[in-house]
Amino acid sequence: MSVAGAFYPDKPDEILSSFEYFNDIVSKQFTNSLYNKDVKALIVPHAGYVYSGFSANLAYRNVQYAPKRVVVIGPSHRVAFSGVSMKEYDSYETPFGNIISDKEYMKFLKSKFEFGNLEIEEHSTEVQFPFVKHYFPQTTFVELIYGQNANLEGIIEEVLKAEDTLLLISTDLSHFYNQKKANELDSSCIKGIETLDVELLQRGEACGMQGVISLLQVNKKLGLHVKSVDYRTSGDITGDMDSVVGYYSAIIY
């Protein structure tokens, strides 16, 4: 764990308190954001839980089954590289206990696609670990991190076709604009995602843009649909509207 104690609590009881707080709000105010869909993938944010945890949690709450495996795909923030890196660890540490890696599925993906194996820490994927372990305690796990010029469409299509597999696409939206400008940019992103319109999507900003574009292209091919689950900015949490970051979650079914 590289960002435990910073992006999310490092003690299980503190994370549980956060999840219980989020879910109490859901039960009182957001029951109309729980959809009875056969969810194949989630778009989830990756900031600190105080900012984006509610949006992410609401997406996970929409998964009404226990997937055999979870595959997370997130952008690299700390290291510049080309392509896609597969983490080949035996397990992943979380405050709730370890998540076991799916070595067989990793081997299968490696037989079809080319991956690097960079030993890098990445918060866009790590902040998903406690959600995954809490909501799907028996699942296995594959972590993929991408840099520039990453060929993601084939990988995403393969994962979406796999049975009992949940795909996570990690991204935040616009960064450090005032609330009004952020809402304008993020609205383009969200409308583009909902309508599978890549050109409209790109009128906005997202740090995981490449992953989202690839997801939309595959959604078109497979006839899948997107439903937005939650959107908010850091300003909605802190009250500081001068420089905000946008957070968004959605289900793919």
Q: What is the mean pLDDT of residues 107-131?
A: 96
> What is the pLDDT, as a whole number, of residue 120?
87
d(C-alpha 56, C-alpha 205), whole Å: 19
Q: What is the mean pLDDT of residues 158-180?
A: 98
- Write the Ramachandran bin of 36: left for phi over 0, alpha for psi from -120 to 50, otherwise beta: beta
d(C-alpha 141, C-alpha 251), whole Å: 19
Query: Tens of pLDDT along 25-82?
Result: 999 999 999 999 999 999 999 999 999 999 999 999 999 999 999 999 999 999 999 9
State whether the Cα torsion 31-35-40-42 is positive or negative: negative
Residue 213 CB contacts under 8 Å (≥ 6 apart), including other chains: 198, 201, 202
CATH number of the domain located at residue range(s) 42-252 in this protein: 3.40.830.10
Helices marked H in 195-233:
198-201, 209-222
Query: Tens of pLDDT along 72-104?
Result: 999 999 999 999 999 899 999 999 999 999 999
The domain segmentation of the chain, as residue ranges, is 42-252
